């Protein structure tokens, strides 16, 4: 089995040390749905360049934020720095068909997101304050840590709603600090070599 990472390849038989010695840099083409899998690589001396051709939003942007440079194609969408949680209220449908759910629980919020009854005010307040807002702040601080001085200050970022959950096109100047630079599809490969020579 062979796995590709940037311009290098490794087989299952190769050790991590041998792989690291052989790789000068990594070029990662990112898309939404990608988990945060290369934060450990970012902590090493290998430069990381991210090239976004389609969409790199939410978890994808979270994952790539530690990169040395992020390039966005002309139609690329990036950002969506926010948190979402869904609750489906099926109680009216259940009532229509004459079915009722009676859960047995231990713990005040154990069935908080049960789809068979409406969301209570206390549950909504708890989920918003203790879960969503806390996770959103963690998302923001991790992005700030990953992008460093490339990113707007918190004050300036708030002024342009950078952390509102919006996605941004490359030409939206207010989000320009989300990525290193824009350009044609060729620059990322050249940037890998530049970062390696300047390390």
Tell me, yes or no, whether 180 lies in a domain: yes
Torsion of CA 112, 114, 118, 119, to 10 degrees: 30
Which strand (E) or helix (H) includes residue 32?
none
Report the number of distinct structural domains present in the chain. 2
Please give the residue range of the domain that contains residue 21.
Answer: 1-80+166-199
pLDDT score of 5: 43
- Is 157 within the bounds of a domain? no
Q: Are 54 and 30 in contact (CB under 8 A)?
A: no
Catalytic residue (choose from 44, 74, 100, 110): 110
182 is catalytic: no
Are 141 and 174 part of one and the same domain?
Answer: no
Pair (136, 183) in one structural domain: no
Taking the C-alpha atoms of residue 36 and residue 32, their distance in angstroms, rounded to an integer, is 11
The fraction of the chain above a pLDDT of 90, given in percent, is: 40
Same domain, yes or no: 15 and 73: yes
Q: Is residue 60 part of a domain?
A: yes
Average pLDDT of span 138-148: 92
In this prediction, residue 40 carries a pLDDT of 56
Say yes or no: 95 and 132 in one domain: yes
Catalytic residue selected from 32, 58, 65, 80 = 58
Across the beta sheet with 181-182, what order do the strands follow?
26-29, 48-52, 69-72, 181-182
Domain assignment of residue 137, yes or no: yes
CB 8, CB 22: distance < 8 Å: yes
According to the model, what pLDDT value does residue 123 have?
93
- Is residue 156 a part of any domain in this protein? no
DSSP state of 192: H
- Residue-wise pLDDT for 59-100, tens only, equals 999 999 988 888 888 888 999 999 999 999 999 999 999 999
Tokens representing residue 184 in the block: 């044609």
Q: Does residue 195 fall inside a structural domain? A: yes
Q: Give the E-state strand segments of 26-147 in sequence order.
A: 26-29, 48-52, 55-57, 69-72, 77-79
Q: What percent of the chain has pLDDT over 70?
A: 63
Answer whether residue 97 is part of any domain: yes
| pLDDT over threshold 70, residue 26 | no
161 is catalytic: no
**pTM for this predicted structure:** 0.68
């Amino acid at each position: 089995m062979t796995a590709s990472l940037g311009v290098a390849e490794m087989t299952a038989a190769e050790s991590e040390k041998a792989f690291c010695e052989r790789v000068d840099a990594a070029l990662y083409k990112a898309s939404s749905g990608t988990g945060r899998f290369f934060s450990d690589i970012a902590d090493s001396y290998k430069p990381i360049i991210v090239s976004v051709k389609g969409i790199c939003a939410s978890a994808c942007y979270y994952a790539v934020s530690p990169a040395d440079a992020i390039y966005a194609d002309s139609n690329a969408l990036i950002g969506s720095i926010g948190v979402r949680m869904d609750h489906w209220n099926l109680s009216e449908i259940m009532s229509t068909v004459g079915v009722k759910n009676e859960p047995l629980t231990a713990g005040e919020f154990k069935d908080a997101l049960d789809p068979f009854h409406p969301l209570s005010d206390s549950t909504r307040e708890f989920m918003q304050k203790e879960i969503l807002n806390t996770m959103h702040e963690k998302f923001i601080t991790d992005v700030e840590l990953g992008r460093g001085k490339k990113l707007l200050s918190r004050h300036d970022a708030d002024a342009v709603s950078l952390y509102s959950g919006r996605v941004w096109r490359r030409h939206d100047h207010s989000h320009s600090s989300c990525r290193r630079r824009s350009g044609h599809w060729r620059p990322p490969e050249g940037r890998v070599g530049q970062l390696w020579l300047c390390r």
